[in-house]
């Protein structure tokens, strides 16, 4: 870039690059959610706008209009009735970039600021985290600064602007922005709100991480490679072996996929240590709710219980969900007669798998020994997310050829072998582990913690077994996770119910008569008298302080303990000295005669000071 064309002290360059940065802040919030070609077009146009600004070139308006129409129409070519907002946001992004190519006046810059704010606001449809608030605060400060700079530019007689002026305008912008925060917080607390999204028509969010009622072998690998945060769990720190977060239980395997088909059961009894906790959950597919294994109750609206241990909501707004739950750890699930579905086998299980099962359990004398034999056998296999078994009989490929796989293959192989031996077994899908934040007192669970394990029915009760040996890490500290958790629990979860709770908690204080009620008027009179004296002194001193300020501006600063007449004698410019002598004479006439200063006196001194300032300029 030809930097020699840029004059850094020119106000128009300051305002251009400041506006450029404001638009960039809003654009960064929307990058992950819009099409790649829109991102590319925005970046390309913004780079082009810098080159045109440096060269002082403004393209013909008809060319820009034609390009604008083309770029705005493009996102709507793929428009569907299910997704109307995303093309609109992409068009808004392109319109913002085109505004930088036009010849810019104050009006165009104000349009850029409005479009940037709208673009940032649209990003909240996808994600509204504390990062959104940080971007909003930065944009607020910079936009106020830019507007103040535009107003100041109108008063400039030349193109340059002093750095001290810029610093003063920035301080004022920060002051105005920070001053608006308490007012915004006040309206956030008192304004009514609805639990339903205002813009929920035709918006189809992108695919969310989670489990569905059918899991194909190999599909969990895609989730395990995703580091996205799925939920935050406010709970005491638990032993690593208890960190299983149950979502859904699968009962039927067709050779390639696990499905959920069984929905009824006999009465069960659950024993174990009771624990209560709170979950803030990001949106998941099919609305299943993760819980600490094994759950006994979940508290939220529109909830459905699906045996065994699965909860889901009937519908979701697509936003983060906060709910309380109760579980039992170190549990035992007693059930008299488990369904025959837990013994069903796929039709394509080969004789090789059956023979292998009989071989590795040949020395087992009871069901416990059978389970241990299968676990010991699978412990020799390698856990891997790469080069997974495929084909119509991927379990056979896993057991005899690859001898490596992820949790899906380990859990499936164990469940099939148990069923071959006549032991009821099922596969559970959820998450294992999590990162514990000791400062915030909560776990962060990511998509990469997705996991499958096995439950087997032994001696009248269901027990958990994990054949894959997947490694978990549970103790780390992340400062930003604390901010994220507080943002979700305090800001996003503040709804109409929270408003009612806050209103009910406000009570009118009971005032009892005591001595302070008599003393209070005396203190009010004392304060009033002090303010009157302070105002009189301020009125007396203000004209004199203004006089010293004007003289200092023109190179004459009064020394310590220097009298007024002695100070005036140092002035060598006759017009300035005459006006200064006039002011001192009038001021001393008021001050030394100890008479009350009137409004007319202040007005007269003000006129003298204005003429003194004019004399200094001339």
* R_g (Cα) of the chain, nearest Å: 37
pLDDT band at 420 (very low <50, low <70, confident <90, very high): very high
φ and ψ of 359, to 5 deg:
-65, -45
Q: Map residue 595 onto helix, strand or coil.
A: coil
Q: Per mean pLDDT, which range of 133-142, 279-288, 550-559, 569-578 is the poorest? A: 279-288
Same domain, 139 and 241: no
Q: Is 185 exposed, middle or buried (0-12, 13-18, 19+ CB in 10 A)?
A: exposed
Which candidate, 307, 311, 260, 305, places its Cα nearest to that of 288?
311
Q: Per mean pLDDT, which range of 16-25, 100-109, 467-476, 581-590 is the poorest? A: 467-476
Q: Whole-model pTM?
A: 0.53
DSSP states of 81-134 as a string? TTB-HHHHHHHHHHHHHHHTTSPP-HHHHHHHHHHHHHHHHHHTTT---HHHHH
Q: Are 427 and 309 in contact (CB under 8 A)?
A: no
Same domain, 287 and 158: no
The dihedral over CA atoms of 601, 607, 609, 613, expressed in degrees to the nearest 10, equals: 180
Same domain, 177 and 118: yes
φ and ψ of 437, to 5 deg:
-100, 105
Residue 123, in any domain of the structure:
yes
Q: Are 554 and 571 in contact (CB under 8 A)?
A: no
Residue 120, in any domain of the structure:
yes
Q: Per mean pLDDT, which range of 104-118, 126-140, 410-424 is the poorest? A: 126-140
- Whether pLDDT at 325 is above 90: yes
Average pLDDT over residues 115-120: 86
| More confident position, 356 or 137 | 356
Distance spanning both ends of the chain, measured CA to CA: 44
Q: Map residue 586 onto helix, strand or coil.
A: helix
Average pLDDT over residues 406-413: 89
Beta bridge partners of 453: 428
Residue 198, in any domain of the structure:
no
- Whether pLDDT at 487 is above 70: no
DSSP states of 495-530 as a string? -HHHHHHHHHH--PPPP---HHHHHHHHHHHHHHHH
Tokens of 368: 């416990």
Same domain, 76 and 185: yes
Residue 176, in any domain of the structure:
yes
For strand 404-405 and strand 382-383, is the pairing parallel, antiparallel, or unpaired? parallel
Residue after which a domain boundary falls, among 175, 190, 205 = 190
Instruction: Look up residue 399 and give its DSSP letter.
Output: I
The distance of Cα 557 from the centroid of its chain, to the nearest Å, equals 53
| More confident position, 218 or 312 | 312
- pLDDT confidence of residue 538: 62
Same domain, 573 and 469: no
The span from the CA of 140 to the CA of 146, in Å, is 10
Cα distances (angstroms) measured from residue 369 to each of 47, 343, 345, 441, 454: 69, 19, 22, 40, 16
**Where is mean pLDDT largest: 102-111, 199-208, 343-352?**
343-352
Return all residues near 512 (Cβ < 8 A) that are at least 6 apart.
none
**Where is mean pLDDT largest: 387-401, 422-436, 509-523?**
422-436
pLDDT in tens, 139-187: 888 888 888 888 877 766 555 667 777 788 888 888 888 777 776 666 5
Same domain, 151 and 220: no
Return all residues near 169 (Cβ < 8 A) that are at least 6 apart.
145, 148, 149, 152
Same domain, 109 and 57: yes
Average pLDDT over residues 453-463: 92
Q: Map residue 536 onto helix, strand or coil.
A: helix
Residue after which a domain boundary falls, among 474, 492, 510 = 492
- pLDDT confidence of residue 577: 82
Q: Per mean pLDDT, which range of 164-178, 365-379, 403-417 is the poorest? A: 164-178
- Whether pLDDT at 470 is above 70: no
Same domain, 428 and 574: no
Same domain, 340 and 479: yes
Average pLDDT over residues 122-149: 79
Number of structural domains the chain divides into: 3
For strand 321-335 and strand 295-299, is the pairing parallel, antiparallel, or unpaired? antiparallel
- Whether pLDDT at 354 is above 50: yes
Return all residues near 265 (Cβ < 8 A) that are at least 6 apart.
307, 308, 335, 338, 339
The residue segments making up the domain with residue 595 are: 542-617
- pLDDT confidence of residue 327: 94
pLDDT band at 384 (very low <50, low <70, confident <90, very high): confident
**Where is mean pLDDT largest: 118-132, 428-442, 476-490?**
428-442
Residue 549, in any domain of the structure:
yes
| More confident position, 473 or 389 | 389
Instruction: Look up residue 559 and give its DSSP letter.
Output: P
Tokens of 200: 């929920």
Q: Is 232 exposed, middle or buried (0-12, 13-18, 19+ CB in 10 A)?
A: buried
Same domain, 337 and 475: yes
Q: Per mean pLDDT, which range of 131-145, 182-196, 549-563 is the poorest? A: 182-196
The span from the CA of 59 to the CA of 62, in Å, is 8
Which candidate, 492, 475, 476, places its Cα nearest to that of 484?
492
Residue 505, in any domain of the structure:
no
The span from the CA of 576 to the CA of 588, in Å, is 18
Tokens of 586: 């009038």
The span from the CA of 229 to the CA of 226, in Å, is 9
pLDDT in tens, 60-115: 777 777 777 776 666 555 544 444 566 777 888 888 888 888 877 788 888 888 88
Residue after which a domain boundary falls, among 471, 492, 513 = 492
Same domain, 224 and 357: yes
Cα distances (angstroms) measured from residue 345 to each of 214, 373, 374, 424: 16, 20, 17, 11
The span from the CA of 474 to the CA of 239, in Å, is 9
- pLDDT confidence of residue 38: 82
The position carrying tokens 């709910």 is 323
- Whether pLDDT at 201 is above 60: no
Same domain, 163 and 228: no
Average pLDDT over residues 344-364: 89
Q: Per mean pLDDT, which range of 73-82, 129-138, 594-603 is the poorest? A: 73-82
| More confident position, 196 or 608 | 608
Residue 504, in any domain of the structure:
no
pLDDT band at 571 (very low <50, low <70, confident <90, very high): confident
- pLDDT confidence of residue 537: 60
Residue 201, in any domain of the structure:
no
Average pLDDT over residues 315-325: 77
């Amino acid at each position: 870039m030809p930097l020699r064309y840029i004059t850094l002290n020119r106000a128009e360059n300051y305002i251009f690059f400041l506006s450029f940065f404001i638009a960039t802040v809003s654009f960064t919030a929307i990058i992950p959610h819009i099409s790649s070609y829109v991102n590319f077009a925005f970046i390309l146009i913004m780079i082009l706008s810098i080159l045109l600004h440096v060269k002082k070139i403004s393209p013909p308006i008809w060319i820009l209009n034609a390009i604008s129409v083309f770029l705005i129409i493009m996102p709507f070519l793929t428009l569907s009735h299910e997704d109307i907002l995303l093309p609109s946001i992409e068009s808004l992004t392109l319109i913002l970039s085109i505004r930088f190519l036009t010849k810019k006046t104050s009006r165009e810059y104000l349009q850029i600021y409005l479009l940037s704010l709208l673009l940032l606001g649209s990003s909240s449809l996808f994600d509204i985290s504390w990062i959104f608030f940080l971007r909003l605060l930065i944009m607020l400060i910079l936009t106020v600064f830019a507007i103040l700079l535009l107003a100041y530019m109108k008063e400039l007689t030349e193109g340059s602007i002093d750095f001290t002026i810029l610093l003063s305008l920035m301080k004022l912008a920060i002051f105005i922005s920070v001053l608006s925060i308490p007012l915004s917080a006040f309206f956030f607390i008192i304004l009514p709100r609805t639990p339903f999204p205002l813009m929920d028509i035709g918006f189809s969010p992108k695919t969310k991480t989670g489990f569905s009622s059918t899991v194909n072998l190999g599909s969990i690998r895609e989730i395990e490679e995703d580091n996205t945060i799925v939920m935050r769990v406010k709970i005491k720190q638990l032993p690593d072996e208890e960190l299983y977060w149950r979502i859904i239980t699968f009962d039927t395997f067709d050779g390639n996929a696990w499905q959920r088909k069984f929905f009824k059961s006999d009465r069960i009894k659950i024993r174990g240590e009771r624990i209560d906790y709170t979950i803030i959950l990001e949106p998941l597919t099919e609305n299943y709710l993760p819980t600490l294994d094994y759950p006994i109750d979940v508290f939220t609206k529109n909830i459905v219980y699906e045996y065994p241990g699965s909860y889901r909501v009937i519908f979701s707004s697509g936003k983060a969900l906060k709910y309380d739950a109760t579980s039992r750890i170190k549990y035992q699930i007693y059930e008299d007669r488990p369904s025959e579905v837990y013994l069903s086998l796929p039709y394509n299980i080969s004789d090789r798998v059956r023979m292998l099962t009989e071989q590795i359990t040949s020395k087992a004398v009871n069901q416990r020994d059978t389970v241990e034999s299968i676990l010991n056998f699978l412990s020799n296999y390698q856990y891997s997310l790469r080069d997974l078994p495929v084909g119509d009989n991927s379990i056979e490929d896993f057991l005899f050829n690859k001898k490596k796989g992820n949790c899906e293959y380990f859990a499936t192989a164990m469940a099939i072998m148990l069923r071959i031996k006549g032991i009821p077994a099922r596969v559970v899908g959820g998450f294992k582990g999590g990162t514990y934040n000791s400062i915030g007192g909560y776990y962060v669970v990511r998509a990469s913690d997705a996991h499958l394990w096995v439950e087997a029915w032994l001696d009248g009760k269901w027990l958990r077994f994990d054949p894959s040996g997947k490694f978990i890490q549970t103790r780390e500290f992340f400062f930003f996770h604390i901010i994220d958790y507080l943002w979700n629990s305090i800001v996003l979860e503040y709804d109409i119910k929270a408003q009612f709770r806050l209103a009910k908690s406000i009570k009118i204080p009971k005032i009892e008569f005591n001595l302070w009620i008599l003393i209070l008027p005396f203190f009010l009179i004392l304060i009033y008298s002090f303010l009157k004296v302070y105002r009189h002194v301020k009125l007396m001193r203000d004209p004199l302080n203004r006089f010293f300020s004007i003289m200092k501006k023109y190179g004459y600063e009064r020394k310590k303990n220097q009298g007024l007449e002695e100070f005036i004698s140092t002035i060598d410019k006759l017009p300035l000295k005459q006006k200064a002598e006039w002011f001192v004479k009038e001021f001393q006439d008021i001050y030394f005669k100890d008479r009350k200063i009137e409004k007319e006196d202040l007005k007269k001194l003000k006129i003298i000071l204005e003429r003194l300032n004019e004399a200094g300029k001339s």
